[in-house]
Amino acid sequence: MESFPRLFSPFRIGSMEIKNRIVLPAMETHLCDKDGFVTDEVISYYRERAKGGAGYVTVENISVDPEGRINDGMMCIHDDKYVDGLKRLADEVHKVGGKVVIQLNHAGKEALKFCTGVAPVAPSPIPSPLTRTMPRELSAAEIGEIIKRFADGAERVVRAGADGVEIHMAHGYLVNQFFSPETNKRLDDYGGNTDRRSRFAREIVEAIRDGVPDGFPVICRISADEYTDEGLKLEESKVIAKILERAGASALHVSACNSSSAVYNIPCYYLEEGCFVHLAAGIKSVVGVPIITVGRILGPEMAEKALKEGKADLVSMGRALIADPHLPVKAKDGRLDEIRPCISCNRCIESIIERKLICTVNPFIGKEWEIEKMPQTKPRRVLVVGGGPAGLSAAATAGERGHKVWLWEKGADLGGRYRYATMAPKKENMGKFLDYLVRHAKKYTEDIQCNKEATAAAIKKFAPDVVILACGAKDEFVNIPGTTGNNLFDVKDAFNRPDALGENVAIVGGGPEGCELGDFLLTRGKKVTVIEMRRMLGIGLVAHPRFHVSERLKKGGANILMSAKVVEVGPGFLVINKRSEGNERLDGFDGIVMASLHKPNKDLAEALDGIVKEQYVVGDAREGRTALEAVAEGAEAALKL
């Protein structure tokens, strides 16, 4: 019996028949080349998600105009020369039984001059909140030309053999800029009331509809609420939705936010699951075309709930399908424990700003096809030392590749330092990912032993062919007078024994660990002071969670001291220096938590020289690592075997 009957029921948008209600939404991957052409990595990425069972995949926002590229990682469709690559992509998706929709976009004032070579354009000369660049106001003639570019792009989508087209009208890009009273101050027929501000979008839909076959899906992605004081709200977006329906839209993909509200746009772990579903329900109440919902929908349970309650017809699961492209197949088969969970850390979003898409929990992005074609090697006897994220990732990957794997962990529990990250408020999915790593490693290893210390002598006796060393870092307090002999706590001790800290706690270091520990202690009723020598809290976190954890600390009543360097520590006191203000003594602390330096731990690697022929050092043992880097390095080492 199927656990999610609505989620896995077939559906139709226009002429496109899809096998279930799961949508991979358009998300930039930066896997194309710098000129916007499709690459093998792009094809591998989308093919794998189609193969994994998504109802249809949406190929990321593709530029209809070379002057509308947001960066050099944005794919292009403004010329016929791009059609062949897109056709190859569509063909590969079709070969594995998938359907593909291609999204068209113009970034407007968010386009970057370093990429386009020209000043960005917009409905009105209002600077971008992200780039601070002043755009040039479009003339009526230029608006007509951009409408034609969208129509030409849609015609190329048809020629590429795609199953549908989506127009990006959300998230602060050009069409959204025309919709919004916050960014459209025009006095002509493209500005003013809702109907006139919608004219640009309406004419795009009408032009596309005139040029594509009857029934060809034309989907519009909108921000139903911009989450800004002057921006669009749901009630006005209902009016816009009806305008788009009358113009010929086949479906509406309901999202939220613009560039000014970007910290909410891709909701991180501090925001609730399904946080935009109510917007889809509002739009669905006034139109008859299918509605697609989005907004931190991480698993099939939330997706099924949205469909069952009639709030949407289809469900976008973007980051969840980055994390595990096979989520649909696994959910349909009832293999929920095998789904690799998205942790909503937004490292994927951060990664595409400067490089290609990466994911904390999935180290194989864009390499899926390459890995699938890798020849099987002769099984080898592999010992993994250390049961943190790097070690667990290495063990599971090596075992899955057919090697015989053992894992030794000197501590009582698996998870390493990452275990403490799972204890902070709102990070339940981090715990789910750790549970997944442990289950996955146990499935593919011969044996996992905790409380088992790996010495050179023990490893020599065990006689592995390969050793993967993931034995963690050497943690040392920052060298400040008074750090010895004053009963200080490190972050690990503080999470494990919060009651031992007393009621008034100082945290020296406002990086990710310090901020999350402060949040953790505030929820336990403690008085918290965070001292950070830099000008910003949470450096090392992605912008979205950094904003939210900083707000949580402020609202929770934490005393936050920025640009303050601790120069001395003593029993219950700290001395800080705030540059021009000189030194200040802070007294009355029951417990002081000191940030630690995570130094490479290569002692065992050096001891094994001449004993083991092949060894790899990964994760914190190699250098201080984030969970993303640790998981990736563990997997990469295993793939080399």
Tally of residues, the chain? 641
Cα dihedral across residues 71, 75, 80, 85: positive or negative = positive
Cite the active site residues. Answer: 173
Please list, in sequence order, all residues whose beta carbon lies within 8 angstroms of the beta carbon of residue 214, skipping any fewer than 6 positions away.
Answer: 15
Dist. CA 238–CA 27, nearest whole Å:
25
- Residue 316 tokens read as 């976008």
Cα dihedral across residues 86, 324, 520, 540: positive or negative = negative
**Cβ–Cβ < 8 Å for 128, 259:** yes
Strands 573-577 and 583-586, how do they pair? antiparallel
**Cβ–Cβ < 8 Å for 247, 295:** no
Cα dihedral across residues 263, 264, 266, 268: positive or negative = positive
DSSP character string of 459-474: HHHH--SEEEE---PE
Dist. CA 190–CA 17, nearest whole Å:
36
Amino acid letter, 598: H
Dist. CA 121–CA 131, nearest whole Å:
13
Please list, in sequence order, all residues whose beta carbon lies within 8 angstroms of the beta carbon of residue 492, skipping any fewer than 6 positions away.
Answer: 417, 420, 475
DSSP character string of 555-578: HTT-EEE-S-EEEEEETTEEEEE-
Greatest C-alpha distance within the chain: 82
